[in-house]
Amino acid sequence: MSLLEVRGLTVAFGDQVVVDNVSFSLDGGGRMAIIGESGSGKTLTALSVIGLAPETATVTGSVVFGGEELLGRADRALSKVRGEDIAMVFQNPQTSLNPLMRVGKQVAEPLRRHHGMDRRAALAAAVELCGRVGLPDPARTVRAFPHQLSGGQRQRIGIAIALACQPAMLIADEPTTALDVTVQAEVLAVLAELVAAGDGASTALLFITHDVALVPAVADHLLVMRSGAIVESGPVAALVDDPQHDYTKQLLAAARKTALR
């Protein structure tokens, strides 16, 4: 049985449908990428999976995670799943960290919430996590405020927060889009390595991006989304070699053009 089973997921604001009947499934330890232009509904799809779609949105369909339906569950019940079983890395590390809180405390938060660790134990674990995401001198880094770190370092903190509780599944929403090109590759490598290196079963990854070039490095399965619907899906290699849908062809052509320039 798959870890995550999304069936007929539809998200609408009033009568405007922004995610239209999306279905896919992800196995434990699987790697899936969702690609699409901005406004294609890929981020909203991800947020709906963990029940964080805006209050004004109507979400219908079915999201089964580990055999349990998540859609329609109370916020309180969902918050036990979030961070513990499904975690998320956000697009912009400038804004996804609390500017007034030392980063170590922010990494320690999910551990205190889900593993009931006390302040000291959680901070010690945070130091270790910061080391694992490749931050230099973790014992000092945990005492820094977000504005004292570079963009790449901040996103490593974001990854450390997401992986703190060793979730069964990680949603990464354009995690490298806001970073300088030189830092992108490093952060991507850290992400791919840590997702694979979970204790026991490795973490499943749902990677959201608009950049086709990043996909082969992190995913083996690809969903192409446009205007809220999935237009094509399949193994990454097959899709890149032999795209069937016009939109997929356009995306690939555009990516090749940028690479040549």
Give the chain's count of helices (H) and strands (E): 10, 10
Query: Which of 164, 191, 195, 205 is the binder for another protein (CB under 8 A)?
Result: 164
Chain positions 5 to 34 lying near another protein, rule: CB under 8 A, are: none
Residue 4 or 230 having the CB closest to another protein: 4
Residue 160 or 222 having the CB closest to another protein: 160
Residue 59 or 149 having the CB closest to another protein: 149
Measured CA to CA, the distance from residue 19 to residue 40 in angstroms comes to 8
Chain positions 56 to 115 lying near another protein, rule: CB under 8 A, are: 75-76, 79-84, 87-88, 90-92, 95-101, 109-110, 113-114
Measured CA to CA, the distance from residue 50 to residue 75 in angstroms comes to 10
Measured CA to CA, the distance from residue 248 to residue 255 in angstroms comes to 11
What amino acid occupies position 193? Answer: E
DSSP labels, 59-98: EEEEEEETTEE-TT--HHHHHHHBTTTEEEE-S-TTTSS-
Strands 221-226 and 31-35, bridge-based pairing: parallel
| 226 is an interface residue for another protein by CB under 8 A | no
Measured CA to CA, the distance from residue 67 to residue 3 in angstroms comes to 8
Residue 180 or 246 having the CB closest to another protein: 180
Helices (H), 102-233: 103-114, 119-132, 138-141, 151-163, 181-196, 215-218
Residue 182 beta carbon to another protein: minimum distance, rounded to whole angstroms: 6
Query: Which of 148, 244, 250, 258 is the binder for another protein (CB under 8 A)?
Result: 148
Chain positions 165 to 194 lying near another protein, rule: CB under 8 A, are: 180, 182-183, 186
Strands 58-65 and 4-13, bridge-based pairing: antiparallel
Residue 50 beta carbon to another protein: minimum distance, rounded to whole angstroms: 6
* Candidate segments 150-158, 193-201, 218-226, 243-251, binder of another protein by CB under 8 A: 150-158
Residue 170 or 236 having the CB closest to another protein: 170
Residue 200 beta carbon to another protein: minimum distance, rounded to whole angstroms: 21
Which of 232, 200, 183, 201 minimizes the C-alpha distance to 34?
232
- The residues of the shown chain that bind another protein, judged by CB under 8 A, are 47, 50, 52, 55, 75-76, 79-84, 87-88, 90-92, 95-101, 109-110, 113-114, 135-137, 140-141, 143-145, 147-153, 158, 161-162, 164, 180, 182-183, 186
